[in-house]
Amino acid sequence: MKKILQQGHLDGFCLLYALANAFKVLKYPDRTASWFVYNQGHVWKKLVSVTPSLHNFASGEGSCFGVSTDRTDVTVKESFLELCAAVIGERKMETFTAHRVPAIELPAAIGKHSVALMCFGQGVKTERCTIGDHWVSVVDVDEDKYFLACSYADHLSEKVTESGVAVSPVHKRPFNNTIARRSVNKTTIVENSVYCFSMISN
């Protein structure tokens, strides 16, 4: 049993981590997390600077969008993710976009220049842990699995091969968790929480 607290035990910043991981996997997939923190820490600062009700995120209540189907609520949340994507761009070299897609289109949201952001509901079993009310970046997909960049899974447990950290099979992206495709459905995904996050070179 783990005895060390991790991101997600007390705070609600998993959405911002999912956004940062989405940016990193598209722009700097071969760089280490330490390199990213040192050289791209301003991306985190940008995300924090546009986050509303920051105390709610810090207390663990703010980043799960819940199950509300109220159109105004969904629009506000969608606008927030669109704003986050817009502020991430570096010196106008790339444009990033985020737009909500139906859950059934999750596999199509993952491509050469895009990943998916998704929020799991309570008690979802992944390969490495059970999570709930938690945002991840879905970096790749094959016939059987979704490959995740998950801020809750122990980052030290990334799969390591003889040539280094394991990469996903299709888009060759680093990952630290997986979930079976059959396990991802309307009962395990928070409603209205699947987004395509794309990078467009200018």
Which residues span the domain enclosing 93?
Answer: 14-201
> Comparing 26-30, 35-39, 59-63, 98-102, which segment has the lowest mean pLDDT?
59-63
Domain membership of residue 4 (yes or no) is no
Domain membership of residue 55 (yes or no) is yes
Q: How many domains does the chain have?
A: 1
Q: What is the mean pLDDT of residues 108-133?
A: 93
Q: When comparing pLDDT for 160 and 94, which is higher?
A: 94
Domain membership of residue 192 (yes or no) is yes
Which of left, alpha, beta for 74 (phi over 0: left; psi -120 to 50: alpha)? alpha
Give the pLDDT confidence of 178-196 residue by residue, as tens digits.
Answer: 999 999 998 999 888 999 9
d(CA 154, CA 7): 9
Domain membership of residue 159 (yes or no) is yes
Domain membership of residue 7 (yes or no) is no
Contact 128, 151 (CB under 8 A): no
* Closest alpha carbon to 31 in 13, 49, 43: 43
Q: Give residue 159's pLDDT.
A: 57
Domain membership of residue 9 (yes or no) is no
Model confidence, pTM? 0.89
Confidence band for 3, pLDDT divided at 50, 70 and 90: low
Q: Give residue 77's pLDDT.
A: 82
CATH (domain of 184): 3.90.70
Ranked by mean pLDDT, the top range of 15-19, 62-66, 150-154 is: 15-19
Domain membership of residue 46 (yes or no) is yes
3 state DSSP class of 135: strand
Domain membership of residue 121 (yes or no) is yes
